[in-house]
Amino acid sequence: MESRAAKWIDVSGFADPELASDLLFEAGATGLEEPEGTTGVLRGWFSLDATVDLAALGLQVVGTGTVDARDWDLSWRLQQEPIHVTKRLVVVPPWVPAPEGTEFTLVMEAKQAFGTGGHESTRLAALVLERLPLAGRRVFDLGAGTGILGFYARLLGAAHIDLCDIDADALPCLEENANVNKITCWNAWAGSIDAMDRKPLWDVVFANMLRTEFEPLRDETLARMTPGAHLVLSGYLVSERERMMEWFSRAHLELDFEETEGEWWAAAVRKTSD
């Protein structure tokens, strides 16, 4: 099994642990833990070459370190447990059995890609997906990470899944997760949406990424959606909702569903004109 070295950064002195977790994820953490024997400390795991400025996010750094490839692998193995993403979907690492009675299970190893369902933005996107008509649809997971959303859409009946991520580390992870879950009818590439022709391709597109990451991709995305297609957006704060509603109105997108968890917001909108 391939594995790579990684670094960890410990932060402390925060008033709200949930907000601190969100900030660590926003800064690019691929996993979090509370280091054994500590209180009030959160450890974020990052790829070795990640540039991270946690002080700029108001977090107080109290320790840093790196682990070699073997320890990195071990650290994932020790900390992962079943993740109840929604009432219907559970994600388990390969060495943990799925809880009995689970309707849908995805077996996933995160490695250094984002997305085992522990983050609110993934959970909200999965909830929105469950409400969409997916049977027979061609869908696109933009910023796929582990592929959790794309592969879940396939389990929910989508006919074909395209997935991409600008992080080249995500691709081997996507391939492994597709194989382990016996997912067929999928296609993935390292890169972004511009790798595909600018013509209507997808009936459903989901983009779970920060607003600032998706904004430059808006027009490119709409141009590749079929008439009446759905766009699922997650990774937004509730405070960004109004701003998004204004864009929906300008772009002829009709709000179909929305979900919130804490300060996070996700929505499904429908393309009403070409």
Ligand X SMILES: C[S@@+](CC[C@H](N)C(=O)[O-])C[C@H]1O[C@@H](n2cnc3c(N)ncnc32)[C@H](O)[C@@H]1O
**Number of Cβ within a 10 Å radius of residue 52:** 19
201 within 8 A of 138, measured Cβ to Cβ: yes
- If the CB atoms of residues 42 and 83 are measured against ligand X, the closer one turns out to be 83
* 144 touches ligand X (CB under 6 A): yes
| Least distance in angstroms from the C-beta of 224 to ligand X | 13
Q: Is 201 exposed, middle or buried (0-12, 13-18, 19+ CB in 10 A)?
A: middle
Nearest distance in Å: CB 213, ligand X = 4
Task: Out of 192, 211, 237, 240, point to the residue binding ligand X (CB under 6 A).
Answer: 192
240 binds ligand X (CB under 6 A): no
From the list 10, 109, 162, 165, which residue makes contact with ligand X (rule: CB under 6 A)? 165
Q: By rule CB under 6 A, what string of x and - marks binding of each residue 84-123 to ligand X?
A: ------------------------------xx-----xx-
Part of the chain binding ligand X (CB under 6 A), chosen from 3-11, 34-42, 98-106, 163-171: 163-171
Contacting range for ligand X; rule: CB under 6 A; set: 48-56, 70-78, 141-149, 154-162: 141-149
Q: Which two tokens stand for residue 273?
A: 């004109």
- Between residues 100 and 197, which has the closer beta carbon with respect to ligand X? 197
Q: What is the DSSP string of 172-199?
A: HHHHHHHHHTT--SEEEEES-GGGS-SS
Q: What is the CA radius of gyration of the chain?
A: 18
- CA count, 13 A, side-chain hemisphere, 66: 9
125 binds ligand X (CB under 6 A): yes
Query: Where are the extended beta strands (E) located within the chain?
Result: 6-12, 31-33, 41-47, 60-67, 83-84, 89-92, 104-107, 138-142, 160-165, 186-190, 202-208, 225-237, 253-261, 264-271
Tell the smallest beta-carbon distance from residue 100 to ligand X (Å): 25
Task: Pick the stretch among 62-70, 139-147, 178-186, 238-246 that binds ligand X (CB under 6 A).
Answer: 139-147
Q: Is residue 169 at the binding interface for ligand X, with CB under 6 A as the rule?
A: no
**45, amino acid identity:** W
Q: Rule CB under 6 A: is residue 124 a binding residue for ligand X?
A: no
What CA–CA distances, in Å, run from 177 to 107, 110, 172? 7, 9, 9
Nearer to ligand X, 167 or 261 (CB): 167
DSSP conformation class of 86 = S
Name the DSSP letter for residue 159: S
Q: Does 267 bind ligand X (CB under 6 A)?
A: no
Per CB under 6 A, residues contacting ligand X are: 114-115, 121-122, 125, 142-145, 148-149, 164-167, 170, 192, 208-209, 213, 217, 235
